[in-house]
Structure 1
């Protein structure tokens, strides 16, 4: 038997989408976590549409992040689709 999706998941997803739009519209980057990346790497989406893989110093999150790689437009679109994050 297929159970209907827990409404809390849909509400949480909507809140995250709204937070993303707010952050990008205010000129800030938005973190996209992906458990397929190494533990210290995350995707960061920027207001100009680019997505970068950046390394975070997990011993001190206030240290500057290191840019590992800037994704191509196709790769960025793939990340957005995989994580249900759309412009």
Structure 2
């Protein structure tokens, strides 16, 4: 392994650890974790909750306020696919 490959691998591990900590912190504070995806229209994201459910919500602004609009809740199967894809892409699996 070259020095560059080693550095990239180390950075990937740090990134994965940071994402994992942020996700757990949000869940611990009863907050959802935002999963952005190019599979959704612009302005929408997947919101994962500590109980395992995932919702699609739209984020928009009204003046200086940030608001969200519930679109729909994913089925358990859909939620598992989104979660597993996110975790795999971010080195959490």
- For Structure 1 versus Structure 2, the TM-score category normalised by the shorter chain is 0.7 to 0.9
Ranked by relative contact order (alpha carbons within 8 Å, sequence separation 6 or more), the top structure is 2
> Following superposition of structure 1 onto structure 2, how do residues 39-78 of structure 1 map, counting pairs within 5 Å?
39-57=42-60, 62-78=65-81
Computed over aligned residues only, the root mean square deviation of the Cα atoms, in angstroms, reads: 2.3
Gaps of 5+ in 2: none
- Spell out, residue by residue over 1:13-64, the C-alpha distance to the aligned partner (whole angstroms, 9 max, x if none): 1110111011102211110111221111000011221100000115757332
- Find the aligned partners of 2:65 and 2:12 in 1 and give their Cα distance: 30
Q: Which residue of 2 aligns with 1:17?
A: 20
Query: TM-score normalised to the size of structure 1?
Result: 0.81
Gaps of 5+ in 1: none
Return the index of the structure with the highest Cα Rg: 2
Query: TM-score normalised to the size of structure 2?
Result: 0.77
SS in 1 for 2:52: coil
The size of the alignment, in residue pairs, is 84
- Find the aligned partners of 1:48 and 1:9 in 2 and give their Cα distance: 27
- Find the aligned partners of 2:73 and 2:67 in 1 and give their Cα distance: 16
Task: Flag the structure with higher helix content.
Answer: 2
SS in 1 for 2:71: strand
